[in-house]
Structure 1
Amino acid sequence: MSCSKSKTTTETSFYYWKTVFDIDSNLKAVINDNEINRLYVRFFDIQIKNGQAIPLSPILFKTKPDISIVPVIYIKNEVMLDSLVDLQDLAQKTYGLIEQIAVKNNIQVEEIQLDCDWTLRSKSNYFDFIKAIKAVSQKNITSTIRLHQVKYYQKTGIPPVDKGVLMYYNMGKILPDKSNSIYERKTAQLYLKSLLNYPLELDVALPIYSWTIVSRNGTVINLLSKTTVQDYTDITKFRPLDPNRFVVTEANIKSGMFLKINDTIKVEAISKTDMDEMVEDLSRYLKQKPATLIYYDLDTINTTTFTDDKTFFKKTGARF
């Protein structure tokens, strides 16, 4: 197995998860330094609104992509739970909008990725939708796969796609304690052995993002994305409890939220040590080397933690 894995190279890529596609000079440097040839770009969401499954927040390309683009469609599970949704019609309209965005921006679509956290009740509809969009588009279809869907695949099912993408993050509950809901090795190890039996070929998605959990009187009240510990270094407003937890000592506003005195701040993030652990453990249990490693997500706030080594992302992918 080790010999067979060494014969292929894992390609490095990123998710791009914003409503406006705009690659500035900092992100362009990350792409070039790490020899990124493809981005997985969220094109739009599908949700239920006024009783109808509709696309929301379609992406606007402010800068034209000069790199291969894979459209990613985020589908709320509520869509696949709705027995009144016409899946054939939804597949046609979904691919129609993908084509419309692609043609307008001179994007050649070879693969479509679907992101849906399906459940036992929604899997039949979701799998039927996959078949429908495959038939309509005649493209390669991939789907995100959560850890619990790997471990309990005999119940949750195997999506009828060309390949899956293992989302190796968001492993725990969002709590005010010292746990890390994005990644904890002990939690991950409860699922790793299941990879040996999972019958679908898997690429891998790893986290590079951070966020802030705000708690009040011991209860989580908000989650602030795109934040780091650097946002809480003002000791006149935040008293450190430990390196990533703080108590608000002066009322102030962060990321549009009003923080009250005694609110508790916890920043969850991914370190290089965490990344080393992830690659080590996944390399041990994946049946084959992933063809692609996708980082979530391409954003200057997220990449800054790792870019003291300009080729960090490429080097990490090469370790599989």
Structure 2
Amino acid sequence: MKPEADHQPFKDPGLSWSQLRAFEACARLSSFNAAAAELNLTASAIRYQAGLLEGRIGVKLLDRQGGRLSLTSAGAAFARQISRPMRELVRACAAAGSSAATAPITLTAPPLFARQFLFDRRFLKWCDDNQVRLDVTDAKRDLLATDQIVAVRLDAEEDADLAATPILAVALVLAAAPSVAALARPSDPAWWADQILLCPSVSDNAWPWAWRMLKLPAPKTTRPLHFSSYAAALEAACAGHGVLLAPLPFSEREFVAGRLLRLSDVRLSSRIGYSLVMRRELALLPRGRSLQRRVLSAVTK
């Protein structure tokens, strides 16, 4: 049994919206110049697009006689057939844009970042007023899914479909709990050989840099303990389980409370930082730009 004609797979005719739009305006206004004025293009650009359309279809659609422009019989039939679908497509795009402009946005942020910058009453009220839901998690959400999701990410990877706005650089300092710091000898390679290095994945590459700053060879017998997030590694450091390259400004509360102590004056400027990442089309909308400004304001206040 053959499928109904309306359900046949579409065959791409290879036409562009620019070609169809130029032809539709010419057919309706009977003038290259009038079509150009309406579409904010030059008359030569309108002629070029209309010519591309005729070449692609393989039939003459417009009669050009001096300054006059008229439709051929094929052009008149084609204009009637595309007029309604084009209007429906424009309405569908407008409806989709309106839906995107009002749909809820989920803003995901790592716990340390959220604690430091986003748990502010004014920021949370702005989120409530603008249908932005804050999701505090280290899990990476799919930003290209159907839901509108924006993420604060550390060391964000480049993606052609995503817009990433840098919002914060991170500094790292050597730190440990008071029980560990009391016996610390950070300039002694032998002391380091007995230590557990607390290693969030994003700071693994910073340890060789720390050894250079301390003017020490890399210890041969250190025991790294790996973590998926800074928050977990920070808690382990406060509990006395090892030495951490603590991220600033996120660990400042632990230093002020005495849960962590710095082991040296070494301060590393991290080569990674936090970015606000969202789909490119959302970044172009007023809501996306407004969210960017709000997050940047929360970080820099």
User: TM-score category by the smaller chain?
Assistant: under 0.3
